[in-house]
Amino acid sequence: MPDITHEEWLRRAESLKVPGVHHVDGVDEPGAGATFTVVSPRDGRVLAEVADGGTAEVDAAVAAARHAFDTGPWPRLTPAERGRTLMRIADLIEERREELALTVSLEMGKPVKDAYAIELRALIATFRWYGQLADKLTDESPHTPGDALALVTREPAGVVGAVVPWNFPLTLAGWKVAPALAAGCTVVLKPSENSPLSALLLGRIATEAGLPPGALNVVAGNGPVAGRALGLHPDVDVLAFTGSTAVGRAFLHYAADSNLKRVWLELGGKSPNIILPDAPDLERAAATAAWGIFFNQGEMCTAPSRLLVHSSIADQVTDAIVARANELRVGDPLDPATEMGALVGESHLGRVLGHIGSGLDEGARLRAGGERTLTGTGGSYVRPTVFDRVDPGMRLSREEIFGPVLSVLAFDDLDEAVALANATEYGLAAGLWTSDLSTAHKVSRALKAGTVWVNCYEEGDLTVPFGGMKQSGNGRDKSAHALEKYTELKTTWIQL
């Protein structure tokens, strides 16, 4: 993180010029003239009036992507050439890292230090990793009878529609855009209407880095209109979505009602974090549990929102988390001293407060937080919140809150812990704290989750896949496996 003061970030915010129109076929495109307002959750001020993409704008972006795929140079470049372009995109992102971090912080409320050190680091690493991977992939030639030759080739799937949320607007865009481009596909990216500015800037950076026109198009707009238009479009071959389970279901309907495009979903979570009495370091386990639920204001699909702790240590662990919640500094995202910023907006703040109210109504014990704070700023802030004595049937324990709200459930034995962990419609991630190697392996296998962290949380890199089970979705982001979403397998059988 660069040594930039709060005052300097404020000065830069005042002079920041944000893009307000779509980026289609390598140029800025204002669309038909309709706009929507982007408000900063840090203070309620208007950041920009942004072009509101509808069916016509999505049609134009898809047409540009289709033309670029069918006749343009991008799919016809060698994998090494595509890789070098992705590396140049990463270099330009690095050059403009502070500008991008500031844009993300202003539009969705996370601390600017986290936007710079975590979100932008992930975006840069993603483009570099897939740039380096692009020419390392191989096709197959299975063993055949002596009078035949078989080839199994991986070919780019075509036009990819990518619809991404606001909580990590650049990281999650990168996880979809970079592997799709590496595979030779062309992309139409539709960012959340809450956080379109950083994605619009990313589209311009990609063009500046030498990405051919039409290879990456960015259309701003509301999900029920622009997102739906992408989902229904007959010229979109693959749709990759990260967001809510309800919208994921809608995209499956869109595919069924149009061209049966492949739909890859990364959806919600209600992730359990199990702490056993033999955890190697209870203090670190508690500190990590607190960090995990309060990081990014709890606006993470993988947030460890259900803490499952053995009854013999439940009070000790909960007390440590409550102490951390009470000392956590909530404040202006542009202040480097801030540890937790603003929720994305007033509507979402109301939703989080509604869940907190339901916890109180259903009899859970409020140990910390539970209320709005910093009301004089005009921003959307809530105090870090901890409930214990949570019953598995409560809404707190069942529904994804997507905010800094922790539910503590106690258990008495390991079988009960696993049953509680799996008693959810979601299956995205889980955590386990134990010193016993056998327990670590057995419980990890028993947990129905796409990722299980043992004696840590939110760790990993681009070498491993990310995605969920059950109603947390299908398909995988990250790693070489992500390319499977954006390629088609073709068999060629040659009779000799």
pLDDT digits (tens, 9 = 90+) for 441-487: 999 999 999 999 999 999 999 999 999 999 999 999 999 999 999 99
Rounded average pLDDT over 349-361:
98
CA–CA distance from 365 to each of 320, 359, 409, 421 (Å)?
A: 16, 8, 11, 20
Q: pLDDT tens digit string along 334-354?
A: 999 999 999 999 999 999 999
Q: Can you give the length of the chain in residues?
A: 496
Mean pLDDT of 431-442: 98
pLDDT for 301-328, tens place per residue? 999 999 999 999 999 999 999 999 999 9
Hey, which residues are catalytic here? Answer: 266, 301
396-420 average pLDDT score: 98
- What is the arithmetic mean of pLDDT over 372-385? 98
240 and 485 in contact (C-beta within 8 Å)?
A: yes
Average pLDDT, the chain: 97
pLDDT in tens, 26-68: 999 999 989 999 999 999 999 999 999 999 999 999 999 999 9
- pLDDT at residue 2 in the model: 86
Residue written as tokens 């309800």? 246
Q: What pLDDT was estimated at residue 20?
A: 95
Rounded Cα distance between 126 and 178, Å, is 7
- DSSP code of 364? P
**pLDDT digits 0-9 by tens, 240-260:** 999 999 999 999 999 999 999
| Residue 437 in tokens | 């190697």
The closest alpha carbon to 293, from 305, 284, 302, belongs to 305
Q: Is 136 exposed, middle or buried, given 0-12, 13-18 or 19+ CB atoms closer than 10 A?
A: exposed
**Interaxial angle between packed helices 79-95 and 197-208, expressed in degrees from 0 to 180 and rounded to the nearest 10:** 130
Question: Cβ(252)–Cβ(471) under 8 Å?
Answer: no
Task: Output the pLDDT for position 435.
Answer: 98
Q: Shortest CA distance to 271 belongs to which of 469, 415, 479?
A: 469
H-run or E-run covering 354: helix 346-362
pLDDT of 1 reads 76
Predicted TM-score of the model (pTM): 0.97
Beta bridge partner(s), residue 148 = 495
With 0-12 / 13-18 / 19 or more C-beta atoms within 10 angstroms meaning exposed / middle / buried, residue 78 is exposed
- The tokens for 118 are 């975590």
What tokens appear for 4 in the block?
């930039």
Q: What is the mean pLDDT of residues 72-93?
A: 98
Whole-number Å distance between alpha carbons of 62 and 173: 17
Buried b (16+ CB within 10 A) or exposed e, 349-373: beebbebbeebeeeebeebbbbebe
